[in-house]
């Protein structure tokens, strides 16, 4: 397998590739507010939002959060539950919790200012090498190349790298190539924006736009017709399927039941309808009735799902059925169930799946 250290990269060729990448970017660069600032706080926020989110989806969240929390001190003072509500819909909620922890850390250890060295930025909770390099280069002009999934794909095709890109040795080697391309006279912010943008918008996973690629004539995958075979990955993640039975249970005075998820689970501390989880596949209706009787001391006569929805997370496929229990006895209301009103939904953080079930399938009074 060919790894980056084995790829000859002459100084002249490196310069040609670098110029082509930067000129291609500057000719077609899209404008976003985080590209127009050197405020490390705002750059940090944008990078965390865009880690698992498309740019168009992340933009309104960036604008909302920077308006509500314009700086480190204001974010450090934020309570977790309202901030999770602000984050609602972005998913991967550990990002939001890590931001709160990092903001409080900066208040305690950096007097409320953003650290200005790569090592100190990397020490912030939730910040890895890619994000640290992005902030260091965009905010402080430090020469650290960004290497995310888009850049790994771009460079694996450009240099014909057949070593798996999901192993640490290949990532380190591609980072070395990026350092080679970023010479002392290159603006690291522009170079990093250029390789990120090229990987995200041109050298896409499927149907890459090779006809408009500024480095097509240097691309070994294009030359050798390997576009569809690169990048190589050593393993494919197998997602686990989870089967959830959710129950809409009306309470008194127009309320309904919600529960708060465990602090150790994904979607931790977010709110959902009472849940009975199945193991491996959906249980039969008769078995589900028995579980309701055993766990909640109530036997529904008629039980049919009113809706089914799915959501795919990074490691899981969530399959959800929604049931309605109209005549649930008030005396059987569980201790961990909250009497929730419609107004409460504006402040309680809900997983996307829960919002979908409520928005599509329920007419909550």
Q: What is the C-alpha to C-alpha distance for residues 256 and 364, in angstroms, rounded to an integer? A: 9
Q: What is the C-alpha to C-alpha distance for residues 207 and 201, in angstroms, rounded to an integer? A: 11
Q: What does DSSP say about strands 316-324 and 240-248: parallel, antiparallel, or unpaired?
A: parallel
DSSP 8-state code for residue 308: E
Which of these, 269, 264, 263, 259, lies nearest to 84 by C-alpha position? 269
Which residues fall within 8 angstroms of residue 250, CB to CB, at 6 or more apart? 256, 326, 328
> Which two three-digit tokens encode residue 138?
């965009």
Catalytic residue among 47, 56, 80, 309: 47
Whether 47 is catalytic? yes
Which residues fall within 8 angstroms of residue 266, CB to CB, at 6 or more apart? 313, 316
Q: What is the C-alpha to C-alpha distance for residues 252 and 246, in angstroms, rounded to an integer? A: 19
The dihedral through the CA atoms of 91, 92, 98, 103 has a sign that is: negative
Q: What is the C-alpha to C-alpha distance for residues 360 and 311, in angstroms, rounded to an integer? A: 14
What are the residue numbers of the active site? Answer: 47
């Amino acid at each position: 397998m060919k790894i980056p250290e084995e790829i000859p990269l002459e100084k002249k060729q490196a310069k040609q590739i670098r110029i082509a990448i930067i000129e291609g970017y500057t000719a077609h660069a899209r404008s976003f507010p985080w590209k127009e600032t050197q405020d490390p706080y705002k750059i940090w926020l944008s990078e965390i939002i865009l880690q698992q989110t498309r740019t168009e989806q992340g933009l309104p969240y960036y604008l909302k959060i920077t308006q509500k929390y314009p700086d480190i001190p204001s974010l450090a003072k934020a309570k977790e539950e309202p901030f999770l509500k602000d984050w609602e819909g972005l998913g991967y909620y550990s990002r939001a919790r890590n931001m709160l922890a990092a903001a409080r850390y900066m208040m305690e250890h950096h007097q409320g200012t953003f650290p200005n060295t790569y090592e100190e930025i990397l020490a912030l909770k939730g910040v890895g090498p890619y994000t640290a390099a992005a902030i260091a280069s965009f905010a402080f002009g430090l020469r650290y190349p960004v290497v995310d999934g888009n850049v790994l794909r771009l460079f694996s095709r450009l240099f014909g790298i057949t070593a798996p890109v999901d192993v640490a040795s290949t990532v380190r080697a591609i980072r070395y190539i990026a350092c080679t391309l970023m010479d002392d006279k290159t603006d690291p912010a522009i170079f990093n924006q250029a390789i990120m943008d090229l990987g995200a918008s041109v050298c896409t996973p499927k149907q890459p736009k090779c006809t408009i690629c500024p480095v097509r004539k240097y691309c070994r995958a294009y030359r050798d017709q390997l576009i569809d075979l690169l990048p190589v990955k050593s393993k494919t993640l197998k997602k686990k399927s989870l089967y959830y039975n959710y129950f809409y249970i009306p309470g008194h005075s127009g309320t309904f039941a919600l529960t708060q998820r465990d602090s150790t689970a994904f979607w931790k501390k977010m709110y959902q309808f009472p849940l009975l989880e199945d193991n491996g596949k959906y249980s039969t209706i008769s078995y589900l009735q028995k579980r309701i009787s055993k766990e909640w001391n109530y036997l529904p006569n008629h039980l049919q799902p009113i809706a089914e929805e799915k959501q795919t997370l990074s490691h899981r496929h969530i399959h959800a059925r929604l049931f309605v229990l109209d005549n649930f006895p008030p005396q059987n209301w569980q201790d961990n169930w909250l009497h929730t009103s419609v107004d409460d939904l504006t402040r309680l953080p809900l997983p996307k799946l829960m919002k979908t079930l409520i928005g599509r399938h329920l007419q909550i009074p």
